[in-house]
A and B are shown apart, each in its own frame.
Chain A
Amino acid sequence: MTRALFAALLLACALPLPAADFGTAQLFEMLSKRKPVRATFHERKFMKLLDKPVDSSGELLFTPPARMEKRTATPKPESVVIDGSRITLTRGGKTYGMGLHDNPGVAVLVESIRATLAGDLAALTRTYSVALDGSAAKWKLALRPLDPAISTLVERIDIGGAQADVRSVEIFQADGDRSLMTITAGPG
């Protein structure tokens, strides 16, 4: 009975049925029960333009269902707050605001992480095709943008985790540049 329900649900989401017992529905069920996240991150960007990767690090805060804050401490203090459909960047004492609707490129990147953290499978499948690999102890989601205009910017996003913790986000840009953010659960 439960299995049949899952199958129907997954079919409705037009997702490939995973071979393993561990499915996206289970993963997102687990993720959606998470309490607010407070973690540290370290991000490394590899760009063709630069001979060496550039690093940044700081804190990541997520308050379900829709508020995410990325506080960068190095190399320059800055913060990005995404709340609902509003994104606010604070940098060098100045604040810039924009709507996610006007910046689809930014919106997909934000949504990939936020929807995953929130366990919001429906939101995620609106913009990405989602493929899950691995088990509850160590899983990997591969997201590919559905919108061809977006896929000229972002080719794929890999999100890795263990149980209800997101451990890494790796973004592959269409021009070959790449960024890898590793997340370590912090206090809270």
Chain B
Amino acid sequence: MPRGRRLALGLWLAGLALAIFAVTQARFVADLSSFLPSAPTPEQRLLVDQLRDGAISRVVMVGIEGADASTHARLSHALAAALRADPRFAFVANGASVGFERERDLLLAHRYVLSPHVTPERFTAAGLKAAVAETIDLLASPAGLLAKALVPRDPTGELLAVVEMLRPEGGPQVVDGAWASPDGRRAILLARTRAAGSDIDAQAEAIAALDAAFAKARSEAGAAAANARAVMTGPGVFAARSRAMIEHDVKRLTTVSAGIVIVLLLLVYRSPVALALGLVPVVSGALAGIAAVSLGFGAVHGITLGFGTTLIGEAVDYSIYLFVQAGRGDQAGDDGWIRGFWPTVRLGVLTSIAGFSALVFSGLPGLAQLGVYSIVGLIVAAAVTRFVLPQLLPASFRIRDISALGERLVVASRAAHRLRWAVALVALGAAAVLALHRGPLWDPELSSLNPISAADRQVDTELRAALGAADARHMVAVHGASADATLGAAERAAQALDPLVAQGKLAGYDNPARYLPSAATQRARLESLPDAATLRASLREALTGSPLAAAKLEPFIADAERARSASLLTREQVAGTALDAALEGLLFRDREGRWTALLGLRAAPSQPIDAAAIRARLDEAKLGDAFILDLKAEVNRLYSGYFERALLASAAGLLAIVALLYGALRSARRVALVMAPLLAGVLLVAAWHVARGTQLSLLHLVGLLLVIAIGSNYALFFDKLAHGGGDAAPRTLASLALANLTTVASFGVLGLSQIPVLAAIGSTVALGAFVTLIFSAAVAGRGIIRA
């Protein structure tokens, strides 16, 4: 064996070993957040972080349905009790209690720093008179029974003011003490996981715990609850569900498409040895691709693996070309193939790489992974076919003679060539369909990548609407060097927003400073409390003639005196309480050490959030670095930015392919003849999608690039046949037909996936590969006629 060949074999084995090692060490992920942009600006980074790890990413909404309203409520209470005891959940609300009632003692002890009513005026004789009169009215009311016991300690009603402030506004209606949807069909429960939404393992665990708790509650609730069920939505739920879907699909699709390819090859080769050898380049390429992605990105996405099935479709072509085109597989035949066909295959690989580079430069990590995986996989598969595979073939290696099929294909190509003008007509027709299409061709929304079913999204929308909670779309973000400074900024932002709430332009907002006021605010509130002697005198003056005698309020004077000398409330002191849980995700520190507070905005009924008015108020309050986030619009803007970039990268990839072809073929006419069937194929597939009412997404763009990459191989072989390869025509055409069949089969299977990302690519490429082969035959079939 010559030295060079031994070296190639050694390199391959060493590379294979390394790749296998890298693959065993690889971390596999499946959340769709890697299909979110990597976000260059601080605003966008905050946004992406919020979607991935923030409070809104931790929300789980549960709807209980299928039984009668009071059974739903009973199940809701039992479920809420179970989840409150579960450390995986930081916060649970179902209408009976939002958690703060459990912190009554904490709130009572710190009511003078928490209550927004605490001002110096409140503790003057006049202020006390008004506050106590209010409390006496409360005693006269039906709610008085509950309030009575606390009056001697809290005659100004500060605890009530704190509870009132913390009470979520605009909550859903309550049936039997549990939140219910407006139509009464569902009881609704809101929970927040302790784990981030992107921690899918933890999310899946939390969902399983929730399911188990519900099943237990149901079995304990008796016959009335037999048909009750819990529907769950939320970012974490969707992420976990997506992952399960992706894992399921990837496994199924890979198995099915590998099975189809193996059966096809066996049918043609009639030799298990040939099959095994034919798969060597594919397996080498797939391993190298996964290893490269794992090393380059730190983790391999499930979708990349699913995409791996497509590599089977393309990389298996190389060994098909070698086996079928080289004929009987004897040594001379291999060398002949290497001299005669390898340059064409190499050019095909290069054009494919040019196409996939567009993915690498798309700016979306998920797509860049697909690009790297495909490029590395193809290079390795082609190189193994060229340098390693011929040496592995045993001397007696032979596959079934398929030249009879080849001869028939030559006749078919000749017939196709007569229809070459039909290709032009089809291309024109497709172009016309695209040109005349009303409405946008491209779907600029990120949701087109979302594997969650429309039904699930509908439930999500209904639960959100019923909860009337902040729609998790609009928020004001303020910053500071410390947690306390940021809480101060949040308080100033809240003051700026208050007039808008008063004018009805805004229904309200959530503010972390409500749960933990800034130190300055706390100090100011405590300084509002007069000393015991002054307070006693003011009370006596205020309560002259009142039914409540000042003498009964000594516990109040003692409490106020104690509060004056108490230390301020800190985050450490509230750790583990409902206040802490409420702060979580609303007040946090980013990687650079900067603190951010988020104020979630609630839109007034039938009035969209007026960002300009809010901006103006924030600027007036000198909160220049505060910004208003519209999550949905911002994400879509971000995505469409990347979409444009991906379109540009694709255009650049196309130009690179043309340049490569010109460099190799040295003839503008030949380049045009190679490109013509590819472009006609792309136009036809795009028109097919549009005619079926599909809006094209980023994934369709990727699919079209693949059509060009795979189709270029076909077109180049036809070009080769037309320029001095005529005698090899039957075998070449047979190899192309087989290669095409495997590609269409494996991508066609991908097209059946329930994951839009994979389905879009699969359907586009399966159809595209098929039509480009036919078109290539029609456009370049002349050389075959000569032979």
Contact = CB atoms under 8 A, between A and B. Distances in A.
B141 A49 contact: no
A149 to B, nearest CB: 15
Interface stretch (A24-32, A91-99, A116-124, A139-147): A91-99
Contacts of B151: 49
B173 interface: yes
A89 B143 contact: yes
Nearest to A80: B142
Given A54-B547, A101-B177, A49 B152 contact: yes
Contact of A50 (B141, B143, B548): B548
Contacts of A85: 70, 176
Contacts of B148: 47, 49, 177
A interface residue count range (under 10 / 10 to 19 / 20 to 34 / 35 or more)? 35 or more
Interface string A26-51: 00000000000000000101010111
Contact of B547 (A43, A51, A80): A51
B141 A98 contact: no
Contact of A56 (B77, B141, B552): B141
Interface string B123-136: 00000000000001
Contacts of B70: 85
Contact of A91 (B96, B139, B143, B552): B143
Nearest to A56: B140
B174 interface: yes
A49 B547 CA distance: 8
A166 to B, nearest CB: 17
B141 A99 contact: no
A52 B148 CA distance: 15
A99 B73 contact: yes
Interface in B142-174: 142-146, 148, 151-152, 164, 173-174
Contacts of A49: 139, 148, 151-152, 548, 552
Contacts of B143: 89, 91
Contacts of A153: 145
Contact of A75 (B96, B137, B174): B137
Contacts of A53: 547
Contact of B141 (A91, A97, A102, A173): A91
A19 B776 CA distance: 109
Contact of B178 (A43, A54, A55, A99): A99
Given A49-B148, A99-B96, A54 B173 contact: no
Interface size class of B (residues with CB under 8 A): 20 to 34
A69 to B, nearest CB: 11
A86 B176 contact: yes
B244 interface: no
A109 B552 CA distance: 28
Interface in B59-84: 70, 73, 77
Contacts of A112: none
Given A50-B136, A50-B547, A86 B552 contact: no
A78 interface: yes
A72 interface: yes
Contacts of B139: 45, 47, 49-50, 54
B175 interface: yes
Contacts of B174: 86, 88, 97-99
Contacts of A70: 142
A50 B309 CA distance: 81
A105 interface: yes
A151 B77 CA distance: 25
Contacts of A78: 141-142
Contacts of B664: none
Interface string B172-187: 0111111000000000
Chain B CB within 10 Å, residue with most, of A49, A78, A94, A101: A49
18 contacts: A43-B140, A49-B139, A51-B548, A54-B139, A54-B140, A72-B142, A76-B141, A78-B142, A80-B142, A89-B143, A94-B164, A102-B77, A102-B177, A106-B146, A109-B145, A153-B145, A173-B145, A177-B148
Q: Which 6 A-B pairs have the closest CB atoms?
A: A99-B177, A97-B174, A50-B547, A52-B547, A54-B140, A102-B177
